Amino acid sequence: MSQLWNIDWLTPEELAQRADKLEGMLRSCRVCPRSCGVDRSSGQRGFCGSGDLPVVSWHGPHFGEEPPISGIHGSGNIFFGNCNLRCVYCQNHQISQDRTAVRNGAVECRRLADIMLELADFGCHNINLVSPTHFVPQIVRALSMARAAGLSIPVVYNSNAFECTEVLGLLEGVIHVYLPDLKYADDAVARRCSKVDHYVSSARAAITEMHRQM
């Protein structure tokens, strides 16, 4: 797939500059629309249960995505632990909401960069970031490292659409494919099923921004 796509990459230096800005948003966390305000840069945990290190629950070639994403050799999925929603129907409940189960998955950004490079070396067509929202600063830092080491395949942003448009703006040119999962068109249902307020307006604004970039 990467051979068929004409993609542009920011330089490692440009990615590092984006990471600097995003990491600043962790000090009084506003990485997602919940805007918890906790200092995740010091290890405090927000609503999502995440601190300063990204949590990787599983990574490897994945063939269950849409065919244009999976291709022949699979999408290079990285499943991140924790989540900024609390969906009662979550199919990944063990990694999204069980804090004890994901604790051992915390990795340094250097290791996350190495995972991306391993997936590329395996022949995966893209790096598929699954539930990345709450770890965007760390992901972009890892991408700057991986890019410096030669990463060149597309990056897919596979999210629940509860996104901050300010953060998405800093992802312009970083993400090559957005894959949002729009869950609700009714805030009352979103509140009941995912314990989230103003999902509808946030998700619609996020998808509008994704569309603008693409």
What mean pLDDT do residues 175-194 have? 97
pLDDT at 5: 54
pLDDT at 91: 86
Residue 92 has pLDDT above 90, yes or no: no
Would you state the CATH architecture of domain 12-213? Alpha-Beta Barrel (3.20)
Tell me the per-residue pLDDT of 1-55, one tens digit each, with 9 for 90 and over: 344 455 789 999 999 999 999 999 999 999 999 999 999 999 899 899 899 999 9
pLDDT at 3: 45
Specify whether the CB–CB gap between 57 and 81 falls below 8 A.
Answer: yes
Q: Which of 56-65, 91-100, 155-164 has the lowest mean pLDDT?
A: 91-100
pLDDT at 2: 40
pLDDT at 13: 97
Tell me the domain boundaries of the chain: 12-213
The rounded mean pLDDT for the chain is 93
Residue 102 has pLDDT above 80, yes or no: no
Tell me the per-residue pLDDT of 152-166, one tens digit each, with 9 for 90 and over: 999 999 999 999 999
